[in-house]
A = this chain, B = another copy of it.
Amino acid sequence: MPSYTAPARDTRFIVNEMLDIASLGNLPGFENASADIVDSVIGEGGRFCQEVLAPLNRSGDEEGCTRHPDGSVTTPGGFKDAYRQFKEAGWGTLAQPEEFGGQGMPHVLAFALEEFISSANHAFGMYPGLAGGAVAALLAKGSDEQKATYLPKMIAGDWLGTMNLTEPQCGTDLGLITTRAEPQADGSFAITGTKIFISAGEHDLTENIIHLVLAKLPGAPDSSKGISLFVVPKVLVNADGSLGERNAVTCGSIEEKMGIHGNSTCLLNYDGAKGWLVGEENKGLAAMFIMMNAARLGVGIQGLSQAEVAYQNAVAYAKDRRQGRALTGPADPAAKADPILVHPDVRRMLMEGKAFTEGMRALCLWGALQVDLSHRAATEQERADADALIGLMTPVIKGYGTDRGFQVAVDMQQVFGGHGYIREWGMEQFVRDARIAQIYEGTNGIQAMDLCGRKLAQNGGAAIQAFFRLVGEECAAAKGDEVLAPQAEKLEKALGEQQAATMWFMQNAMANPNHLGAGAHHYMTLMGVVTLGWMWLRMARVARAALAAGAGDKAFYEAKLVTARFYAERFLPDAGALRRKLEAGSEAMMALDADGFATAV
């Protein structure tokens, strides 16, 4: 059986030392996040995930969700009780606005907890996770009445929520949706259509589920400009807030998937279901992107989460399992074999896992801080800058974070040899669960296009220039430190590759947009490599300062320095290769006609 322990020490390091959120105590929300509170959220939240959620991960995978003939869905054994405990402890309310019953704390803390939840039980975490996206959309675009009706219950966790975008004929291209919304005399709409791949679409955790649904009004433009957003409760809510009639939305089936079996992935049939317009007519795509951006950061965290839990188990196995001898001679001559941790190739995989997970954790929590600053920083300029930075970084966190997170989960499974392929060890579940994160909330190819086709050029490239400046400043600062100078130089070189790639896009993509599309995924990966390098240099600087100040826990800071060096040596070299691939352009990629891909005839 795999196990999980929340990486509390590392999270505290990032929150308290690297991001130093205590220094932001003058900002709204941060005054709630005293050192004690931070400590308690990380400690207690971690314990909850370890003790309540992690033990249900394997059993949830084995049992899966069950749809009954009446369309109701039962979650795996234990999920309902775990959710009750989750709700009662208020874990879903951390960063939600106090106005609707939330605790108004920084997103930094909510993201930290989200990592723990998803490591402990990815499928479970999706139930409150999806509801979070629905809450974000209602907060941003809902009417006062809609907010009053739904948000207190949703934030309290009494009701959960979903996002309904995909239909059989359309995933990425939402202009193709056919679900219709017919205006009714009472101001509501009758929603009719079929939605697929609806995570947490039906279940037994809460008495109501608030669906946010994309549909088309009569006569709306036949494109993505004709999409509107509707709120459609599973059970209608009476004027006094009590629950009324069952709405005409039913679960037609649940999907058989590769993983995340503990989450019910539903086909939902809307058969004239009563819904209400959220925001303006035909502006549903903008509202949807509010959900999506929040959700994409959450998915990036899932990439980290599965890598982290897989890493922990691989470390434990590598210490325990004995095969062969160290290349430099027996490490434990008294035993018949050494622990496999002595073997360089096992180390390679573990160190790559460590370098990714700790770097990615720093990036996710840095990203959470930008979300906070985009709402709460003192000046409008600071808020706008933070918003632009997190907008730029969202596709990198989602795309690179889940690509590399999946790779780490695969490598950690590899550490187990044959046992990694056997279900009871649980490693193969981490791989199957991690796989979805590269696909949903916009495939990673879509993330790459969001980054390169939209975010790079926004506001004349202000955000990417700000990013280059930040990384450049960190390199400059670190170069004065003899230990960090070699790493700073390597990062500067990698940054130079990214800058050159950016320039290449500017010079070539106008003439042929396929050049942009052909290089977008490489660019996203390149930016991910540089970004984690930046995080590692920041962490290394903090570790150097702590050691110089004579901090206790010396081994922790020294491990940071070793891993920072490892990252610079083993991840950053990819930057040059990625640039060269990108600069190859799209000619060979686009040359074949459809028949050219056949090998059979």
Interface of A toward B, CB cutoff 8 Å: 5-10, 166, 170-173, 175-176, 196-197, 222, 255-259, 308, 311-312, 315, 319, 322-324, 327-328, 336-337, 339, 341, 343-351, 354, 357-358, 406, 410, 413-414, 417-418, 420-424, 428, 431-432, 435-436, 438-440, 443-445, 448-449, 512-514, 516-518, 520-521, 555, 558-559, 562-563, 565-566, 569-570, 573-574, 576-578, 580-581, 584, 586, 588-592, 594-601
State in angstroms the CA–CA spacing of A5 and B151 once bound together.
Answer: 54
CA distance A576 to B431 in the complex (A): 29
- In the complex, how many angstroms separate the beta carbon of A561 from the nearest chain B beta carbon? 9
Asked if residues B597 and A514 are in contact (CB atoms below 8 Å), the reply is no
Q: How far is B358's CA from A351's CA once the two chains are assembled, in angstroms?
A: 33
The listed residue with most B CB atoms (<10 A of its CB), out of A166, A324, A424, A576, is A324
Given A257-B423, A588-B562, A521 and B348 contact (CB-CB distance below 8 Å): yes
15 A-B pairs (CB sep. < 8 Å): A256-B423, A257-B421, A258-B422, A315-B597, A341-B597, A347-B590, A351-B589, A351-B592, A410-B435, A414-B438, A414-B444, A566-B589, A570-B584, A573-B581, A574-B577
**In the complex, chain B residues whose CB is within 8 Å of the CB of A337:** 173, 175-176
What's the nearest-Cβ distance from chain B to residue A556, in Å? 9
Given contacts A590-B347, A592-B559, contact A7 B581 (CB under 8 A): no
Would you give the shortest CB distance from A194 to chain B, in whole angstroms? 14
Asked if B347 and A445 make an inter-chain contact with CB atoms under 8 angstroms apart, the answer reads no
Contact partner of A555 among B196, B222, B580, B596, CB < 8 A?
B596
The 4 closest A-B pairs by CB, nearest first: A344-B517, A569-B584, A345-B445, A7-B599
Whether A588 lies near B569 (C-beta < 8 A) is yes
- Closest Cβ–Cβ distance, residue A364 to chain B (whole Å): 14
Residue of B nearest to A427 (CB): B258
> Are A555's CB and B588's CB within 8 A?
no
A439 CB contact (under 8 Å) in B421, B448, B599: B421
**Given A7-B600, A414-B443, A414-B445, also A323-B176 (CB < 8 A):** yes
Bound CA span A520–B516, Å: 35
Among the listed B257, B341, B410, B599, which residue makes an inter-chain contact with A9, where contact means beta carbons less than 8 Å apart? B599
Q: Is the CB of A601 within 8 A of B9?
A: yes
Which residues does chain B contribute within 8 Å of A348, judged by CB atoms? Answer: 518, 521, 589
Interface contact B597-A350, CB-CB below 8 Å: yes
Given known contacts A324-B173, A348-B521, A517-B345, A566 and B580 CB-to-CB distance under 8 angstroms: no
Separation in Å of the A218 CB from the closest CB of chain B?
18
CB contacts (< 8 Å) of A319 on chain B: these are: 594
Q: Taking the nearest CB of chain B, how far is it from the CB of A324, in angstroms?
A: 5
A181 to B503: give the CA distance in the assembly, Å: 69
Q: How far is the CA of A514 from the CA of B173 in the complex (A)?
A: 51
A591, closest chain B residue (CB): B562
CB atoms of A559 and B596 under 8 A apart: yes
Chain B residues, CB < 8 A from A345: 445, 448-449, 517-518, 520-521
A581 to chain B, nearest CB (A): 5
Residue pair A256, B424 in contact (C-beta under 8 Å)? yes
Contacts of A601 in B (CB 8 A): 8-9
- Residues A327 and B514 in contact in the complex (CB < 8 Å), given A8-B600, A596-B559: yes
Which residues of B lie under 8 Å from residue A431 when comparing CB positions? 258, 435
Q: How far is the CB of A57 from chain B (nearest CB, A)?
A: 16
CB atoms of A562 and B421 under 8 A apart: no
Within the complex, what minimum Cβ distance (angstroms) separates A529 from chain B? Answer: 10
Q: Are A439 and B422 in contact (CB under 8 A)?
A: no
Which of A308, A328, A349, A350 has the most chain B CB atoms closer than 10 A to its own CB?
A328
Contact in complex: B422, A257 (CB < 8 Å): yes
Given A423-B256, A577-B574, A10:B439 Cβ within 8 A = no
Given A347-B518, A520-B344, A569-B588, is A512 in contact with B328 using a C-beta cutoff of 8 Å? yes
Q: Least Cβ distance of A472 to chain B in Å?
A: 22
Chain B residues lying within 8 Å of A586, measured Cβ to Cβ, are: 344
Query: Which one of A222, A586, A599 has the greatest number of beta carbons of chain B within 10 Å?
Result: A599
Residues in chain B near residue A328, CB distance under 8 A: 512-514
- Using known A-B contacts A348-B589, A351-B588, A573-B577, determine if residue A418 contacts B562 with beta carbons closer than 8 Å: no
Closest chain B residue, CB of each to CB of A260: B421
CA distance A76 to B347 in the complex (A): 40
Contact B324 A172 (CB under 8 A): yes
Report chain B residues within 8 Å CB of A439: 414, 417-418, 420-421
Contacts of A580 in B (CB 8 A): 573
Question: Distance (Å) between the CB of A198 and the closest chain B CB?
Answer: 11
Determine how close the nearest CB of chain B comes to the CB of A173; give it in whole angstroms.
4
Residues on B with C-beta less than 8 A from A516 are 327, 344
Given contacts A172-B323, A590-B344, contact A422 B599 (CB under 8 A): no
Cβ–Cβ contact A589 & B344, under 8 A: yes
Complex CA gap A601/B346 in Å reads 22
Residue pair A323, B170 in contact (C-beta under 8 Å): yes
**Chain B residues whose CB sits within 8 angstroms of the CB of A413 once the complex forms:** 435
Cα A149 to Cα B480 in complex, Å, equals 76
The answer to whether B258 and A428 touch across the interface, beta carbons within 8 angstroms, is yes
| Closest-CB distance, A192 to chain B (whole angstroms) | 20
Contact between A176 and B336, CB atoms less than 8 A apart: yes
- Least CB separation from A345: chain B residue: B445
For A596, the closest partner residue in chain B by CB is B559
Q: A256-B424, A345-B448, A431-B435 are in contact. List 4 more A-B contacts (CB 8 A).
A: A257-B421, A327-B513, A344-B516, A566-B589
